[in-house]
Structure formats: C-alpha cells, structure tokens
Amino acid sequence: MKREISVIDLGTNTIRVALAKCEKLKTSNDIKVLGLGYKMAKGLTYGTLTNIEELESVLLGAISNAEKEAQKHIKNVIIALPNWAVESSLVDKSISLGNNPIDKNQIDRLINSNNAYNYNEESSIIQVFPISYTVDNSEGIQDPIGLLGSKLSAVFNVITVKNILINNIKNCFNQCGIVIDKFICSSYAASLAIASDEELQSGVMIIDMGGSSTTISCIANKVLLYMGIIPIGGSHITRDISVVLRTNTTNAERLKILYGVSSNNNTLTHEEEKILVSSIDEFGEEHIQNVSKSTLDLIISSRLDEIFDLIKEHIVENNIDEKYYTNIIITGGGSRISCLNEYIKTKNLFLGSSVRLGKPIGVIGSNDYVTTASFSSTAGAILYGLNNCQYEKKIKQGNNNTLLQRIISKFRKGI
C-alpha cells in the first residue's frame, strides 16, 4: 500500500484537492488528510471545458491551499471525474485458452485485448470492471483463476470519457505542472469511502446527489455493475429556494442545509415557526423577511419528490435487480439537507430497503469538511489511490518539468 497520495475531485460545484496518507491507528488503517483545498468550480460545465483559464486559476488556488496546509508539494494526482462526464457501457470479450489452468496473466490478456473495446474512437477508457466470467459453457463465474477450458469470456462494465474533454483536462493540468496518474469515476470512488467491505461485496446501491445531477450506481463483488444519471441534483433545490425567496445562492444553500425538510406533517407548527431570510426586492434593495418554515419545506420537498420519483422510475425502466437496492446509501453534497433520512422514511420511498446517509468512513483531518458527504468521492479517490495506484500505468501527459511549469503558471495567475 502506498503511504501518501494526492487527488483532485472535479465536482460540479466544487473542485477539491487533498493530499493524504495512510495512518495506522489503534485498530485499523485510516486516512489522514494532510492538506485540503477547495474552490468553487469554474470553467468545466456539463461535459465541456468552457474556459481553460478559469479552470486553471481555480485549480492553482485549491492546490496552493492544500500544499500550504500539508507543507508538501503536489506533483502527481488521481483525478475523480464528475459523473456527468463519464459513460458506462457493457462489453463482451473473449480469448482462446491453452490446456493450462487460467492464471492472472490470462485475465490481464482478456482485459487488455483489443477486440470490442474500440467501438467508439471518440472516447477513451478510464476504468474496466469485470462483471462475470464464462469458461466454455460455464457462466456466472466470479473468479476463473485455476479453472481449465478452451475459451474464456467476460462481460465488462467499461467507463469511458470523450476524448475532447479528457485531452483538454490533461492540457490544463499540464499547464498547472501536475501529472495525472489515473482517472476514476466519482460514483465508484464515493462507494469506496462510504460503504463497508461487506456492503460492497454483497451488493449496494449508491445514490450520489451531486450539484447538477444525481447518480445511481450498483456495486457487488466490489465491482461497479451499473451507473445511470438523472439530470437533477442539489443545486436545483438551492436555485428553487433562491428564486422563490429572492435570496442569493449562498443564503439559499445555508437554508437548505441548516433547516432542511420536515420529517413530519405538522403544518400548523411550521406556519408559526419563522425563519429570517435576507432577500432582494424588485428594486435591488436588500431586506430581512420572515418566512415560515412550512414555505421552505414546500420548496425543498417539491424538488425532492421529483428527484426521488425519477430515481424510482429509473430503477424500473433499467430493470435494475431488486437485490441491488435492498441496501441503499445516499451521499454527495445534495444529501446534506437536514432531516433528509427522516423525510425518506416518512415518505416510504424505498419500501423494504435499508436506507442510510453515507459519509466518509475512517477519514480524519484538521478540517471537519473531510467527514461530510461532500467529501465522499474525494475520500474514495484517496482510498483507491493508496490501494491500487501503484499497479496502474502512468498516463502520458507531455512535459514532466512540473516545478518549472508550476512557477510559470502561478506567476501568470498571480498566486
């Protein structure tokens, strides 16, 4: 296991930079975040790099903050890509076998064989998850090592990203003097941080409520089996509050997290309970208004109803096996709404399922932010890097003179 790792989480609303190490505590190996930096995301929107200079400026600012706290320089990173930027597809592959028992080399040969992957020249593969193997006519095999046969086949979940986006991201990071070691899908990363080994093995559904979208991921045998996206997330709730109450997005986000949604139906009590809200009138002047708790409840619950209705429709339309959503974990920045779990239970949204909110497990740091649901995908990318990255092939990314690049870039941006 690696001892230290740096990751950058390209979230929809926030870009997070973390430098962390594996620290052996009393009973287990936990993750200690040595340095953390985060900035409001700019320049990267819904599958397109819209402004490379804005993204570079935000990255350099967040990296600088993380480096100052850690008192270390960041050179190589793992990138957690936003869920809207990736695509998930099932692919069948096969190879012929000799008379020898199947070993790891043959598994690697199957995964790395060229057939069937090059179905889309406009995209690059960032992750490949083997769902099940078939040896001759024996199907549904999870681990074929040691078996004999003449043909080895497998179904893979292949995660891809558009080349134009991946190349622009590489170019931007190269300008910042940062070498990218590996890309990882944010939804899978989040699962590593919030689910137990038993849950990842037996089967779990992760509902990641991001800023612009909500991602549904199914994981079993520690493999990402399915990923789907609903184009509504926590930012839509914030925007609703901002528009209806005529307040800025910062205030709206605070109201969403602090007061949240009611877990009971006592409307009369909430009509009497008032909340002070700073609002802007039609003349552009700021005023303090009294808003009933029931009004805020209605705004938030209306959008939540829509999100969870779409989630249930998505599950049905995509024939997701019931065994994968008997255990549900909800995470992401959008899940930080106060009383969300109680709201889900009151509404009976997932009958017969165990539902809980997910936060990073076993992560410590000087900032409480590392224990929130917003940090789930960042924490998962750290775990992934510490456990796996030493086996990954480096990504080619231009000039490796990172120190000179960083000095030039920081000078240009005034950081």
Q: Are 13 and 41 in contact (CB under 8 A)?
A: yes
The pLDDT assigned to 392 comes to 40
d(CA 178, CA 173): 5
Q: Is the dihedral of CA 116, 110, 128, 221 positive or negative?
A: positive
Residue 208 located in a structural domain? yes
The pLDDT assigned to 404 comes to 47
Mean pLDDT of all residues in the chain? 85
d(CA 203, CA 84): 23
Whether residues 151 and 234 share a domain: the answer is no
Residue 342 located in a structural domain? yes
Residue 27 located in a structural domain? no
The pLDDT assigned to 349 comes to 80
What integer is the mean pLDDT of 262-270?
58
Look at 55-59, 279-283, 345-349, 384-388 and tell me which has the smallest mean pLDDT.
279-283
Whether residues 96 and 221 share a domain: the answer is no
The pLDDT assigned to 37 comes to 95
Most confident option among 21-30, 44-53, 120-129: 120-129
Residue 399 located in a structural domain? no
What integer is the mean pLDDT of 339-352?
84
Question: Residue 73 pLDDT more than 70?
Answer: yes
d(CA 397, CA 153): 33
Question: Residue 326 pLDDT more than 90?
Answer: no
Whether residues 205 and 135 share a domain: the answer is no
Per the structure, the count of domains in the chain is: 2
User: For a pLDDT cut of 90, what percent of the chain falls above it?
Assistant: 53
Whether residues 233 and 146 share a domain: the answer is no
**124 against 23, higher pLDDT:** 124
Residue 364 located in a structural domain? no
Whether residues 108 and 256 share a domain: the answer is no
The pLDDT assigned to 114 comes to 61
**CA neighbor of 339 nearest in space, from 315, 357, 326:** 357
The pLDDT assigned to 323 comes to 80
Whether residues 254 and 326 share a domain: the answer is yes
**For residue 168, what are its two tokens?**
């622009």
Where do runs of H (alpha helix) occur along 159-292? 163-175, 186-194, 197-202, 234-245, 249-258, 267-272
Residue 80 located in a structural domain? no
Domain termination site, one of 143, 161, 179? 161
Look at 165-169, 238-242, 404-408 and tell me which has the smallest mean pLDDT.
404-408
User: Could you tell me the pLDDT band of residue 412, with boundaries at 50, 70 and 90?
Assistant: very low
Whether residues 204 and 352 share a domain: the answer is yes
The pLDDT assigned to 317 comes to 93
pLDDT tens readout for residues 197-243: 999 999 999 999 988 899 999 999 999 999 999 999 999 999 999 99
Number of alpha helices (DSSP H) and beta strands (DSSP E) in the chain: 12, 19
Question: Residue 368 pLDDT more than 60?
Answer: yes
The pLDDT assigned to 408 comes to 42
Whether residues 327 and 259 share a domain: the answer is yes
Domain that holds residue 136: 86-161
The pLDDT assigned to 116 comes to 52
User: Could you tell me the pLDDT band of residue 398, with boundaries at 50, 70 and 90?
Assistant: very low
Pairing between β-strand 354-357 and β-strand 363-365 as defined by DSSP bridges: unpaired
pLDDT tens readout for residues 90-146: 888 889 988 778 998 898 888 877 655 555 678 888 999 999 999 998 998 989 999
DSSP 342-411: HHHHHHTTTTT-EEEE---SSEEESSGGGGSGGGHHHHHHHHHHHHHGGGSPPPP-S---HHHHHHHHHH
Q: What is the CATH number of the domain that holds 260?
A: 3.30.420.40
Whether residues 243 and 311 share a domain: the answer is yes
Whether residues 202 and 249 share a domain: the answer is yes
Question: Residue 400 pLDDT more than 50?
Answer: no
Whether residues 237 and 307 share a domain: the answer is yes
